[in-house]
Amino acid sequence: MSLLSEGFYNHAVEDCVSRAIGRPWRITGIMPHQGGAMHDAARMCGDGMDVFVKVGVRPFSLDQFEQEAWGLDYLRIHSGIRTPQVLGVCMVGSHVLLVMEAIDTKPLLTKSDWQILGSGLAQLHRTTWDHCGLATHSYLGIFRQDNTPEDSWAAFYGQRRLRDSMQMAIRAGNMTPEAIGAVERLIEKLPQLCDPDEPFALLHGDPWIGNLLFDGRQLVLIDCSIYYGNREIDLTTVDLFRPVDPTLFDAYQACYPTAPGFSSRIKLWRINQWLGHVTLYGEKSMPKLLDAVKTYL
């Protein structure tokens, strides 16, 4: 039983929601959420509306939740894609609560449902900027990401993603000299590998299928880690952990076709994910990392 389910945070959540909506709001039921890997979470039912609450207990949780709240608002404002309305970020002792609108999701039952997700991602990626990166940092899971803007995707992906992620794996004691050398050689080759030259797209940053919700009418984005960059990196994350209906990708391509050779670059864009897995899980993740890196050396 979690502290959320036991009602430990009820008073703080009720106060947060009441301030946000301008009227008293009280919890009438709590439904634990089973899908989150990082945070204790629950749906809290109440007067006329339900909210979704995540609890952070790490030293950086306040910053992480504030960045997530900012990112959700940024996505909605700049792309027009629906995201949960954030009601507040509040402290309960040393714990941090992120309180959001609860999304009523629907199962993806038809080809049309999957098409809505694909066309929604294409709409997101049509929002562009003349630099890659962002004005602020973000988090991918527990990892803080430096989004200092660059004019070149090769420079950004090499330094802000691959080299930074490799340094975290080194500090965790999980990188071998062979792996370090291979990643460094790959970074040097990125200017030749990072075609095509496209506008830098607004990226969700972690759009595996569990973060792409369907409300029965449209795509809803959650758990974002936003920045501007090569849109192919988002597309290679969608089915990284769970298969999806190919209709999603067909619909995306119909709305915003990828450049020739996209399939040959999929492993390249997944290397940053595998570096994170090496940091977290050690040697058992090394074969996937080395397989991807050596594909391009």
8-state DSSP, 82: B
The answer to whether 128 and 200 are in contact (CB under 8 A) is yes
Report the run of H or E that residue 88 belongs to, with start and end. Answer: strand 86-92
The answer to whether 86 and 100 are in contact (CB under 8 A) is yes
Of 3-7, 52-56, 209-213, 266-270, which gets the smallest average pLDDT? 3-7
Q: Which of 125, 57, 42 is nearest to 93 (CA)?
A: 57
CATH number, domain 111-294: 3.90.1200.10
Considering the chain, what percentage of its residues have pLDDT values greater than 90? 92
Average confidence (pLDDT) over 151-157? 96
22 CB burial (10 A radius; 0-12, 13-18, 19+): exposed
pLDDT band at 35 (very low <50, low <70, confident <90, very high): low
Question: How far from 184 is each of 5, 40, 148, 188, 270, CA to CA, in Å?
Answer: 46, 37, 20, 6, 16
Give the residue range(s) of CATH 3.90.1200.10 domains in the chain.
111-294
pLDDT band at 207 (very low <50, low <70, confident <90, very high): very high
Measured from the Cβ of residue 254, the count of other Cβ atoms closer than 10 Å reads 12
3-state secondary structure (DSSP) of residue 290: helix
The answer to whether 69 and 98 are in contact (CB under 8 A) is yes
Report the run of H or E that residue 189 belongs to, with start and end. Answer: helix 177-193
Torsion angle of alpha carbons 63, 69, 74, 75, nearest 10°? 120
> Per-residue DSSP letters for 8-77?
TTHHHHHHHHHHHHTS---EEEEEE----SSSEEEEEEESS-EEEEEEE-STTHHHHHHHHHHHHHHHHH
**Has residue 187 got a pLDDT over 90?**
yes
**Has residue 36 got a pLDDT over 60?**
no
In the CATH scheme, what is the homologous superfamily, with its name and number, of domain 10-101?
Phosphorylase Kinase; domain 1 (3.30.200.20)
**Has residue 1 got a pLDDT over 70?**
no
pLDDT value of residue 38: 79
pLDDT value of residue 73: 97
Distance between first and last Cα of the chain = 49
pTM: 0.95
3-state secondary structure (DSSP) of residue 91: strand
**60-99: string of b/e by CB count within 10 Å (b at 16+)?**
ebbbbbebbbbbbebbbeebebbbbebbbbbeeeebbbbb
Give the residue range(s) of CATH 3.30.200.20 domains in the chain.
10-101
Tens-place pLDDT, residues 276-296: 999 999 999 999 999 999 999
The answer to whether 208 and 240 are in contact (CB under 8 A) is yes
The partner residues of 44 in beta bridges, in order of sequence, read: 30, 51
Tens-place pLDDT, residues 92-148: 999 999 999 999 999 999 999 999 999 999 999 999 999 999 999 999 988 999 999
Tens-place pLDDT, residues 227-273: 999 999 999 999 999 999 999 999 999 999 999 999 999 999 999 99
Report the run of H or E that residue 273 belongs to, with start and end. Answer: helix 266-281
Average confidence (pLDDT) over 26-46? 87
**CA–CA–CA angle 133, 142, 149 (5° rounding):** 10
**Has residue 196 got a pLDDT over 80?**
no
Report the run of H or E that residue 214 belongs to, with start and end. Answer: strand 212-214
Question: How far from 63 is each of 56, 133, 224, CA to CA, in Å?
Answer: 10, 18, 14
pLDDT band at 79 (very low <50, low <70, confident <90, very high): very high
